Each structure stands twice: as C-alpha cells, then as structure tokens.
Structure 1
Amino acid sequence: MDFDLVVKNGQIVTASEILPLGLEIGVKGGKISCIGTSLPTTPATKVIDAEGAYITPGGIDSHVHLAQANSPTGDDWETGSRSAIAGGTTTIIAFASQERHEESLMPVLQDYHAKSRAQSYCDYGFHFILTNPTKHILQEELPILAEEEGITSVKLYMTYEPMKVNDRELLEIMLACRKLGMTTMIHAENSDMIALIIEGLEANGNTEPFFHSIARPRIAEDEASYRAISLAELVDAPILIVHMSSETAMGHVRKAQTRLLPVHAETCPHYLFLLSEEIKGKPHDHFSGAKHVCSPPLRHHAEDLEALWRGIANGTFTVFSSDHAPSKYDHPGGKKLGIVDGIPRFAKIPNGVPGVETRMSLLFSQTEACLSPDEARLGLPRFVQLTSTNAAKMYGLGGVKGSIAPGYDADLVIWHPGNKGECVISQNMLHHGVDYTPFEGMKMRNWPRYTVLRGQIVWDKDGGGVLGEMKYGEYLKRGKGQVVVGKTGGRAHGMLENERRYWMQ
C-alpha cells in the first residue's frame, strides 16, 4: 500500500493504554489506514520521525465561544481556530446562540454557518444555546438540527438574565433532547443568589473586579448543580454540567455517578491553575484583574484546586475543555466595559478567558510524560480521555475522532521528545486574536511539536509554526451522543417501578 503519511518512532497513547515504542502509523486519504511496523514508503510518502516522543489523538475542545454577538472583541473563526491547531486541538465545537426574542433557530444557524464557512483552520461543529425554548422549536426545529444538520447538543443557562431558563423549561428541553439522543449541557449557578449579592455589593460601593469572585460564591454553584441533577433524574435525561469549579458541586456529580445516573462533568484549565487572587490585578493597575473575570469565578483557596485535581484523576470529570470565551482587555468594547464613568463596575465586565491554545499543554505538563509517577497528576490514557476521546463519544463523533486506530481521521498530536518542548507561556507566542493570556509566565514542560489534521501537518513548532490553511477545516455533522458515564433507564429516588409511564409522553 502507498501511504500519504507515515509517522514512525513514536509512542502511541490511546484512552486505554500506551502502546510499545516503535509502532508506526500509516495514513491514506486523511484516515488512519493501519498501525504496524516497517510500513512501506515511496518517494511521495511524507515521513515524520517522532524521535521517541508520545503521540496522542488530536484534541477536541468541546466548549469554545467564537464570533458571538455578545463578545464582539473576542476571537472570530480565523483567529480562534488558528490558535486551536497551534495548541494541538484539531476539532472545536462552538456555540450558535439564540437570543430571547428569536422565535426560530434557523436564521441563527444560517448566520453562524456564514461566519464559520471557509474560515476555520480545524474541523468544527456547533452546539446551540437555547434561551427561548418554544414548543415549535422543541418539537419541530430540534429534530431538524439533529437529523439534518448534525447538531446534537444544546447548552442551557440557569443564570444570566438575558439567557437563563427556568426549571420547567429545563425539564421540557431535557425531555426533547432525550428523545432525539442529544446532549444537554448546563451552566449551573443560582441566579437569585447572585443577583441578591450583586445588589448588596453595589449598594456598599464594592465594585472592583475582585468582587466578581464574591458575587458568585461556591454555594450558588453547589445548589444549582444539585438542582440540575435532580431535574435530570426526574426525567431520566443525560446531562453534562459545564465548567465546574466547586468541590461540593463536584461531589454531587460523584454521588450521582455512583448511582449510575448519566451525569457528566466538565472542568477547565483556569479552575485547576488559578485562584481569585489573580482578580485583584497588579499594583499599578487594579482593573487588570478583569482579565481573570469568568463564571463561575476563580475560587479562593488552594484546597479548591486540589479538589478538582482529584476529580480529574479519579474519573469524576468526563471532559476537560477550555471554555475559550475571550474579550480583549485594552478595548472599550471588551473588558473595559467594566469601567463606567471612570468607576470600576465588575458586573459590567464581559465574562470569560482565552484558553483554546494552552489547554492541551497545561494538562499534558501534569502527566507522567513530564513528571515522575509520584508527582504526576494523571496518567497519559486519562489525559487522552479528558482531552479527546470522551468528547468524541459524548458529542457524536465516536468512530471518527478521538482515537488513534484504523478507520479514524488521522488527527494527531506529536509531542517533543524528553524536555525539548519546554517553554514559558507568553502572549507573544500565542495565535489567538485576544490581547492577553491568563496563564502568562507559566512554565510548560512540553508543547505540541506537530499537529496533524486528517493527515495534513497543520502545525510544526520548529518548522514554520502554522502551516495549515484557513479553508482546510470542515464542518462536522455529528451523530447522537453516547452516554459515557452511567446509564438511562434507572428510577429516581422513591419512585415506583416504571412510574414515569403514567406521565411521560
């Protein structure tokens, strides 16, 4: 067989094991054709010598905000996807967002297709943010999105006045998604708790950026997470609670999982590496803490970070995403919207931090590839699960993305051997369109040497950087999501056997 690409002399990592050094990957027509030894090459075959380095599946970042109307200074598809491949991510799933007044999702979808078409360096798909879940949308439009457009996930907010849905709407959406095999993602914070605290902080003149972390306490996430799990249990619906930051909330998920409920969890780099101290800003610029304003907020104590690392290692978290939700800092329409008549107003600061490019390296640097077994936070197969394989399964890309095996897309990250990939994160090395990184100055123990998308080298750190073309990224029509944790069909606490049959339609 004539291969288009052969990757040799590397150590392949999958979600279940680390394969022996020396196996080669043969790629034909953008797919992995075989894994073997001494694969034949021709003068037309591109050969990559991994030099003993680890090879992992291309990253799937399943929580990315690009070109949204409510973030006009953030990344567009060109800059966001370029940043993704430079950091080892070959697939992103971003959000098409319905606004409250919109009574159909179809114009929103067409607008988002227009923004992304021929504008992406990597492969991509869409989630839909629902804010006005009418019966027409749930009964008529969601089936079209799932079956014809391959959009098989929605995101719901329990907070933010322009976007939040109430408990009844959550239940109705969960039921509709359950019938269609769609994944329901939930931003879980108690909106009324937050509103009450913000009013009190503002009345007392406490409006500096740091008070954002006071306004959204852990208990607001804890309560809403428990409520989201209870609602999902009532209607037997799989859910994913996104960007979790609280140990107690994570504990609710863990307890649900031990009961085999289909409850999945996601966390993000900023909740593993950063604390609320960052929001206080620099001595010469207190407002610079606005760079670290996100929701849920950064937490106060090192113990909070350690708790989440336990969830990373023990399987509580299903996916590790960036929640790349950027706004420029030094821009009147970006983070500095939080300065009103010269006075800092934390409630006006756009939420979110950039991170699509740094996500993979931040986590890889904590694995056994870079640290001794005693120091490593997680194993390499667990790294692959969190950054690629589980997202592929949950979001309907199983069998296509997320693994290194024959028949899968040839999406690969080839790391540097040994310590040759060490670097320090700085804004000037990154490829996003934002003017800062919250991880400035952090030392990485490795960085992707090559990123390969469907058999094409799109990133070569030591040989030109971004090599891919903006039009190479393809829109992905996704299938039904899989339940990765637990199972459907269980009965809720205290219910009779088959009790739901009396009221579920």
Structure 2
Amino acid sequence: MPTFDLIVRGGSVATAVDVMRADIAIADGKVAAIGHDLGDARAVVDAGGRLVTPGGVDSHCHIEQLSAMGVTNADTFETATASAALGGTTTVIPFACQHKGDDLSAIVRDYHALAGRGAIVDYALHLIVTDPTPATLTEQLPALVKAGHGSIKIFMTYDAMKVDDEQVLDILLVARQLGAMVCAHAENHGMIKWMVQRLLDRGYTAPKYHAVSHPRGSEAEAFNRLIAMSELIDQPIMIFHVSTAEGAATIHAARGRGVKVFAETCPQYLFLTAEDLDKPGMEGAKWCCSPPPRAASDIEALWQALARGDLQTVTSDHAPFSYDEKGKFANGPNPTFKQIPNGMPGLQARMPLMFDAIVSQGRMDVTDFVRITATAPAQLYNLADRKGSIAISKDADLVVWDTEREVTLTDDLMADATGYTPYVGRTVKGWPETVVRRGEVIVADGALTGRAGSGEFLPRGGGKAAEPTGRTAAEFDPARNFGAVLL
C-alpha cells in the first residue's frame, strides 16, 4: 500500500525564510513529510525544474456582495474562487456585509450558504459593520467572533456605509474585549464629498475625475485619526489598500513609536496610475476603484514600504463589477464618475503580478513573495496553524510555478465573471501550473479541476496581532490611555 496520498516531487520549495530542494508528501490533506526518497504515493506531481510555494492567502476580496450603490458583484463564490485557484490562491477572506438596518447574524448565515454552495478554495469571513447598534455590538458581534469570525471591517467614508468617530471608538473597544482585529477603509469623507460636488458642479463628470475626487491628503488624515483612536483604546488595526506615499509615511511613523498598526496595499497601487482612468468614452470606468490609483512616485514609495515591512501584505481587493448595465453602467450608459460602482477584479492576477515583479524582475526575494502573499496574511488573521506555509501538519496548499513561462494577460484569460482585467496587455513571467488545496489538485496544467462547494470554512479568532498588550486596566496610566480604564 502507498504510504502517502500525493507526493510533489523534485521541486525547489520556497517558504518565507528559505528555499530548498525537497519533495513534499501529503496524507489526509496535510503535509506529512518534507525531504528526499519519501516512498510511494497514490499520485505524484512532477515539480522538476519548478518552484513550489504555499498557496496564496488573499485576505481582502468582495464576493457576491451588495455594494453601497445597490449593485451586486458580478461573481458568485464559484466564479470568484475558480479565478483565485487558477491564479494560485487557495484561501480567501471575503466579507459578510451589513447594511444599515441589517441583522449581522442573518447576513453571515446568508454568506455561509452562498460560500457552501460555490467555494472551490477555503475561506473565512470578515464582518463589515455599518450599523453599530447595541444589539450589533453586545449580542451579535460576541457570538460571531466566538463562532470563528475574528475580524471586523469599518468604513470611514461612503454615505451609506461610514461610521463616525464615536462609533469607531465603540467598535474598537468591543473588538479589544473580544480579541478581534479591526480593519478599515480609511479616507476623509468630508474632503471627498466636498471635492465630488465641486467637480460635478463644474461639469467634470468623466471617469478620470474619480481619481481627482479622492484627494491624496484624505488618506493620511484618516490614517492619523484612526491610529489616534486605536492608541486610545489600545486596539490593533489593519489599514486596507494604502495608495499614497503620505499614507505609507504615516504608518511608518506610527509603527516607529510602537503603535499596533498593520497595513496592506494592492496590485492596482503597485502597477497602475491615475492615468489609466483617462480612456476614450466611458472605458475608464473599468479602472474606477477607491481609493484610486495614484502617481508613479507613489508606486515606488509603496514598494519601499513593503521592503521595510511597514506594509505586510498585498491583497487583490477584488471588487468585480461587470462592464455592462448590470455593473459599471447600472446607473445608465453615461454615468458620472460618482455613479460608477467602485472596484475592479484582481483575484486571479494578484499572485502572477507579484511573482513577476518580486521573483522574475528581482524587486525582492522569493521568500518575500511567499511572506507577502501567503505567510503574513495567514499570521495576521489567525490562520497560520493551517495556512500560509509549507510545514509538517499544516494544510497541503501548494502552487507549482513554471518560472520561465511568459503570459500576456487578456480579458479572455480571466475566469471571474467580470469580463475584463485592468491589467490587460501586461506580460508576466512565472505562471501557476499546478495548484493543490488540502492535498487535492484543483488546478492541473493550468486547467481548473476543483469542484464548487469543496472549499471549507476556516473558523478563527482575532489573530496574534489582535491581542492587547496583556496589561490589566489597573496597570495603565489613565493620563496616557483613557480607553484602557473602560475595560
């Protein structure tokens, strides 16, 4: 009888700390052995001449979610996670989104039903809180965090989604009590609203003005305000989709003085600029996302922030709105930039784009690629016991890369339901050839073999990063930290 279910043989195995030549043996969905001459298996993946990395963890993506504009994402869990798998991602963390008046517990049940039917890769859920009523804060959130939903997202902008500063403090305090991470879309709502109105009043309505309507200063200001509130409560935070040099500098300064702030950026801020929105007619709508792509100088600043460790992860912020009347043109054939649903697809392109930039072009090391796309997000969101690394007893989530294959990204290549990629025409070197999720080959020779509904829910707590300092309230100096004495 074969000793193992599967052996990935002959590859160079990369983790966040090292690269080694080794075979990987898998049994019961877990990594059972790493080494040479491991024996027999029921199946073998020949990784000779290939690089093997952990499956990607995309900790920020929107799937089957109703937007603040009332427009639903183009993707189902099946189409979104098919594209994730084909791009080398084996774990996703999308959102269970509460809108004003919603019962958060009911929303979470609905998302679990959708994911249970369609997910091909494994998944967890962030909880979006837009209506922090007493019932939400004192009844629903404690029960949901206990059930394994250890992260909460808030918006500091968008009329239909934002929470004000007092509500942010309430949520931070509850999160601290529960040991949950708080993630934030942080932009200054007043600055954006003020700019939008003045642009529209003057007839500047084309998609390219979306980039102008989000002043770059709105990001750093909101970061500073959120960081100050997190310091008051002594609650760790994750700042989503950093897009500007000033925003990265704000995070660097806060981390330098010991604040428990973590941050991510996205491919759209590492590879695109505001000029990408300046297209003929309405085509620029494809590139409308919030915050918008910025300038070339911001791209370089963000790469430097990744190298320093001020930004820990790169996520897709996959927000797929189709380029038709069901998506980008839900408000008519010639909407103003304000009427265009914000977001762009990216689940499938994230890993190849980052592999090309980091490994093939040599911006950083292959160990950095693994850390940024898999290991760090698993650690930050309390998935590291199973995901994000290649180690004995962890889930056998693996990607076998053809490091020499060059692929030009096209709309037709993408498996999501959006119908386009914002990275069309870009050529990447390095492509996922085989993808293994919990020991099952779900992509073979670049073709999807995974089944809808085979993905598993990953219950988790708030994560190591979300743990408070460990001091009791009595040990805090109230003159320095008033929030702590409320616990």
Give the structure-2-normalised TM-score. 0.95
Residue in structure 2 matched with residue 50 of structure 1 by the alignment:
47
Which residue in 2 is equivalent to 1:143? 142
Give yes or no for the alignment of 1:298 onto 2:304.
no
2:325 to 327, 332, 345: 332
Residue aligning to 2:406? 422
Pick one of 423, 428, 436 that aligns with 2:420: 436
Match of 2:454 in 1: 472
Alignment of structure 1 residues 253-332 onto 2, 5 Å: 253-282=251-280, 286-299=281-294, 301-329=295-323, 331-332=324-325
Aligned partner of 2:442 among 454, 458, 464: 458
Please name the residue that 1:9 is paired with.
Answer: 10
Cα pair 1:263 1:485 within 8 Å, conserved: no
Calculate the TM-score normalised by the size of structure 1. 0.92
What is the match of residue 24 of structure 2? 25
Tell me if structure 2 keeps the 8 A contact 1:390–1:484: no
**Structure 1 residue 106, shift from structure 2 partner:** 1.5
Instruction: Provide the C-alpha distance between the structure 2 equivalents of 1:490 and 1:321, rounded to a whole number of angstroms.
Output: 35
Let me know the Cα RMSD of the aligned residues.
Answer: 2.0
Worse-matched range after superposition: 306-315 or 155-164: 306-315
Secondary structure of the structure 1 residue equivalent to 2:326? coil
Match for residue 371 of structure 2? Answer: 385
CA contact (8 A) 2:181 2:237 kept: yes
**Match in the other structure for 2:198:** 200
User: Quick one: structure 1 residues 293 and 6, their matched pair in 2 at CA, closer, same or farther if it must change by over 3 Å?
Assistant: same
Shift of 1:461: 3.0
Range that drifts further, 359-368 or 26-35 = 359-368
* 1:338-357 matches, cutoff 5 A: 339=332, 343-357=334-348
Which runs of structure 2 are paired with 1:13-162 in the superposition (5 Å)?
13-18=14-19, 20-21=20-21, 23-42=22-41, 45-70=42-67, 71-102=71-102, 104-148=103-147, 150-162=148-160
Cα distance change of structure 1 residues 208 and 328 upon mapping to structure 2, 3 Å threshold? same
CA contact 2:408–2:427 (8 Å) conserved in 1 = yes
Tell me how many residue pairs correspond in the alignment. Answer: 481
Residue 181 of structure 1, aligned match among 179, 182, 187: 179
Contact 2:234 2:483 in 1 (8 A): no
Cα–Cα, structure 1 residues 488 and 348, in superposed 2: closer, same or farther, change >3 Å? Answer: farther
Q: How many Å apart are 1:187 and its aligned residue?
A: 0.3
Cα–Cα, structure 1 residues 335 and 10, in superposed 2: closer, same or farther, change >3 Å? same
Residue 260 of structure 1 and its aligned partner are, at CA, apart by: 2.0
Provide the C-alpha distance between the structure 1 equivalents of 2:213 and 2:420, rounded to a whole number of angstroms: 24
SS at match of 2:311: coil
Change (3 A) 1:498 1:458: same
Deviation at 1:69, TM superposition (A): 2.2
How far 1:383 moved relative to its partner? 1.1
Q: Distance in 2 between the 1:503 and 1:495 partners?
A: 9
Q: Do 1:58 and 1:90's aligned partners in 2 also have CA atoms closer than 8 Å?
A: yes
Instruction: Report if the CA contact (8 A) 1:275-1:302 is conserved.
Output: yes
**In structure 1, C-alpha distance between the alignment counterparts of 2:31 and 2:479, rounded to whole Å:** 46
Instruction: Report the residue type matching 2:330 in the other structure.
Output: L
Q: CA deviation at 1:213?
A: 0.4
Q: Decide whether the 8 Å contact of 2:154 with 2:184 is kept in 1.
A: yes
- Secondary structure of 1:451's counterpart equals strand
Contact 1:236 1:490 in 2 (8 A): no
C-alpha separation in 1, matches of 2:57 and 2:123: 9
User: In structure 2, what residue type is equivalent to 1:9?
Assistant: G
Give the stretch that moved more between structures: 70-79 or 204-213. 70-79
**1:482 paired to 2:478:** no
- Which amino acid letter does the alignment assign opposite residue 222 of structure 1? A
> SS at the partner of 2:59?
strand
Superposition deviation, residue 435 in structure 1: 1.1
Counterpart Cα distance in 1 of 2:367 and 2:259: 24
Q: 1:302 to 1:260 in 2, by over 3 A?
A: same
CA deviations on 1:433-479 (whole Å, 9 max, x unpaired) are 111100001001011011100011101235xx001111211111113
CA contact (8 A) 2:207 2:278 kept: yes
1:214 aligns with 2:209: no
Distance of 1:155 and 1:438 partners within structure 2: 25
Deviation for aligned residue 1:52? 2.5
> Which whole-Å deviations, capped at 9, do the CAs of 1:39-89 have from their partners, x for residues lacking one?
1005xx211111122111100101110111224252110100110000000
Deviation string, structure 1 residues 160-191 (Cα, Å, up to 9, x no partner): 00000001111110111112111100000000
Equivalent AA in structure 1 for residue 269 of structure 2 = Y
Letter in 2 for 1:151: H
8 Å CA contact 1:122, 1:453 repeated in 2: yes
| TM-fit CA distance, 1:107 | 1.3
| Secondary structure, aligned partner of 2:292 | coil
Letter of the structure 1 residue corresponding to residue 77 of structure 2: W
Q: Percent identity?
A: 38
Say which SS state the counterpart of residue 357 (structure 2) adopts.
coil
Residue 15 of structure 1 and its aligned partner are, at CA, apart by 1.3
Structure 1 residues 500 and 489: CA distance shift in structure 2, 3 A:
farther
281 and 459 in structure 1: CA distance in 2 versus 1, 3 angstrom threshold: same
The within-5 A match list for 1:236-251 is 236-251=234-249
5+ residue gaps in structure 2? none
For structure 1, the residue ranges without an aligned partner over 5 or more in a row are: none
Q: Secondary structure at the match of 1:214?
A: helix
- The answer on whether the counterparts of 1:159 and 1:190 sit within 8 Å (CA) in structure 2 is yes
Amino acid at match of 2:386: V
Change (3 A) 1:367 1:344: same
Partners of 1:478 and 1:75 lie apart in 2 by: 25
Matched position secondary structure for 1:445: strand
Residues 374-417 of structure 1: CA distance to partner in whole angstroms, max 9, x if unpaired? Answer: xx21111111111111111111212111110001000001101x
One-letter amino acid of the counterpart of residue 435, structure 1: G
CA distance in 1, matches of 2:421, 2:114: 24
Check 1:230–1:495 CA distance in 2 against 1; reply closer, same or farther (3 A cut). farther
Q: Which amino acid aligns with 1:456?
A: E
| Shift in alpha-carbon separation, 1:461–1:208, aligned structure 2, 3 A | same
How far residue 498 of structure 1 moved from its aligned partner, in angstroms, is 7.1
Paired residue secondary structure (2:464)? coil
